[in-house]
Amino acid sequence: MCGIMGYTGKGNAVPVIIDGLSKLEYRGYDSSGIAMYEDGKIQVYKKKGRLADMLNVLGQEPLSHLGIGHTRWATHGVPSDLNAHPHCDCSGRIAVVHNGIIENYASLRKDLILEGHDFISDTDTEVMVHLIEKFYTGSLEEAVRKALTMIRGSFAMVAICSEEPDCIVTAKKDSPLIVGLGEGENYVASDIPAILGKTRQVYIMDENEFAVLTPRGVTVSDFEGKPVEKKAIEVDWDPIAAEKGGYEHFMLKEIYEQPKAIRDTLAGKFQDGLIDLSSLNMDDKFRQVGKIFMVACGTAYHAALVGRLAIEKLARIPVETDIASEFRYRDVLWNPQDLMIVVSQSGETADTLAALREAKRQGITVLAVTNVVGSSVAREADKVIYTHAGPEIAVASTKAYLTQLLVMYAIAMYLARIKGSLSPQELQQLGSQLQNTDALVQEMLDREQAKGQIRQMAEKYQEVNSTFFLGRGLDYAVAMEGALKLKEISYVHAEAYAAGELKHGPLALIYDGVPVLALITQDQLVEKSMSNIKEVKARGAVVVAVCKESLQEDCQECDDQILLPDVNPVLSPIVSVVPLQLFAYYMAIFRGADVDKPRNLAKSVTVE
Ligand code: AGP
């Protein structure tokens, strides 16, 4: 979720770009930079750290009428001065900034190096500027068009060239990009807040659209060059609303960003339809692994619970899961073949780091799953797989959890591939189902936007002070996440329980009218789940079934139903958690809680 800003016009580009980047600070970043046309050359200033650090390098604001800037949320290559954008070609004539993931960057980089291009960073973006250089014969627009035909992945990219001192070329595929329209000046940015102070006339760039900006105007076309008629919109948001993309809260924005987060996280993880994590260089370790220990906190722990069931089912490898703060009190019987997997959105959670360090002390290989490049967990683990959820601002984790699930499934499937516990055909089928989950999540979000069923349910139950979430197997793991979401942002007590265990005591807590959310996605477990539902209904509970459409008939006895699109039961957590996130969100709204910053909590718990 990098920030992009560009300007061409009669004014000074530098202050405009810096102001624009500062308005994108909420997107999170670890380095920033600016490239501008100055005295016939492209001058680049960039620095690891905050915007202020880059401004120290920039010093006295130079005068330029053409420039581009970037705040980087690292995905490939740790945060550093060299990895910061903009990136330049060998000649220094062309500069590029980029937001997205270039899936085939490794092969492109190899070919470009063989052709004599010098690379100085570890980023995927740098291949883009060298490709443009390769095709540049006097038209930046044509060179960018040709370069983009070679690139697979997602991008919002912007390029300038010292040979064309008033021209900006930009293109969009699966990453946000907007163009601001001024008088004798024009802007490009990754998000509306960056240009709000300058203009409210905006083109929202659509998929596979290409634009050329000069002070005299903006021309938009598709990637083949066919002109596109764009209708400018008048943006009436205030700056704060704009940071949330028009959503009322960051949490809701991040819930609705989940389909894209799924695509970004799975990008580059499949080769010929099969899951491929060989870039980890862990195949030997995976081949010999005896037992896996998964350790995490909070929501990340709930993702690990799903990971455990997925790995045991698909790869037939024993897995233990522990809450990180409890793990350290175990006298674990380690075996050198063991593997530890730690899961952490922030990569800075003290309890999780403590568990990681204990495993390292015991000489155990640690694989980290984290959302923050260069975080402590990423640096201290032996290997790391990044979730590409983008910065998660709301304290309550949603899109990060969902992308953690995807990585859990990717690990389970890759282990199954290495161990041979699933055939290539089974893996291909599961892989295509996994890659289709973004459409299923989108379907549910669209349905809620159209009908508001979950919002109405929250309105109905807003006064309750206690709820239960029930499930068996994978549904129990998701019930735990649903209960945590409700507790942490609406302050309603919520108990997640294994549906089969309720009768061994907690059933005493069921009373007339208490809402029970029952997850029912496991086709083989429906009968048993329904008998548990009868138990609680007989004691006065009001039961809301969160069930797959194909199991709707089985759940007729429930008082309400939230229907999920049909999905392979093993992948059901990816879809079943979404209504629970929305339920918690709307309950918090109706109860007047501070959704993005709930009381007593922090986004990253760096104390033990
Ligand atoms: C999740 O909604 C909570 N904010 C919290 O449980 C969080 O998941 C936990 O603190 C772990 O954080 P991490 O993923 O950054 O390690």
Question: What's the confidence (pLDDT) of residue 235?
Answer: 86
Q: Over 80: is that where the pLDDT of 432 sits?
A: yes
Distance CA 114, CA 107 (A): 11
- Is-catalytic flag, 2? yes
Domains and CATH numbers, the chain: 3-236 (3.60.20.10), 243-451 (3.40.50.10490), 452-599 (3.40.50.10490)
Cα-Cα end-to-end distance for the chain: 30
Question: What's the confidence (pLDDT) of residue 129?
Answer: 98
Contacts of 600 (CB under 8 A, 6+ apart): none
CB atoms within 10 A of CB 508: 9
Tell me, using a 6 A CB cutoff, whether residue 300 lines ligand 1.
yes
Ligand 1, atom 3: closest residue by C-alpha: 396
Give the residue-averaged pLDDT of 537-547.
Answer: 94
Distance CA 334, CA 331 (A): 9
Token reading at 587 = 């309950």
Token reading at 31 = 């380095």
**Please, are residues 522 and 564 in contact by the beta-carbon 8 Å criterion?**
no
Q: What is the pTM of this model?
A: 0.81
Q: Over 80: is that where the pLDDT of 580 sits?
A: yes
* Total residue length of the chain: 608
401 CA to centre of ligand 1 in angstroms:
9
Tell me, using a 6 A CB cutoff, whether residue 572 lines ligand 1.
no
Distance CA 343, CA 564 (A): 27
pLDDT band at 88 (very low <50, low <70, confident <90, very high): very high
What count of Cα atoms within 13 Å lies in the side-chain half-sphere of residue 216? 3
For residue 99, CA distances in Å to 2, 158, 195, 373, 401 come to 5, 9, 17, 15, 22
Q: Which atom of ligand 1 is nearest to the CA of 377?
A: 16
Question: What's the confidence (pLDDT) of residue 590?
Answer: 97
Distance CA 506, CA 181 (A): 62
Give the residue-averaged pLDDT of 263-270.
Answer: 94
pLDDT tens column, 346-404 = 998 989 999 999 999 999 999 999 998 878 899 899 999 999 898 888 999 999 999 99
Distance CA 252, CA 578 (A): 11
Amino acid occupying residue 525: L
43 CA to centre of ligand 1 in angstroms:
41
Give the residue-averaged pLDDT of 149-178.
Answer: 95
Is the backbone of residue 217 left (phi > 0), alpha (psi -120 to 50) or beta? left
Question: What's the confidence (pLDDT) of residue 391?
Answer: 82
Q: Over 90: is that where the pLDDT of 476 sits?
A: yes
Distance CA 429, CA 95 (A): 42
Question: What's the confidence (pLDDT) of residue 205?
Answer: 93
Which helix (H) or strand (E) covers residue 298, if one does? helix 298-315
pLDDT tens column, 484-501 = 999 999 999 999 999 999
572 CA to centre of ligand 1 in angstroms:
22
Question: What's the confidence (pLDDT) of residue 133?
Answer: 98
**Please, are residues 169 and 159 in contact by the beta-carbon 8 Å criterion?**
yes
Distance CA 569, CA 550 (A): 11
pLDDT band at 191 (very low <50, low <70, confident <90, very high): confident
pLDDT band at 126 (very low <50, low <70, confident <90, very high): very high
Distance CA 103, CA 107 (A): 9
Tell me, using a 6 A CB cutoff, whether residue 482 lines ligand 1.
no
Q: Please state the φ and ψ torsions of residue 369, each to the nearest 5 degrees.
A: -120, 110
602 CA to centre of ligand 1 in angstroms:
9
**Share of the chain residues as helix, strand and coil, in percent rounded to the nearest 5:** 40, 25, 35
144 versus 554: the higher-pLDDT residue is 144
Four-residue CA torsion sign, 540, 541, 542, 547: negative
Q: Could you tell me what percent of the chain has a pLDDT over 90?
A: 82
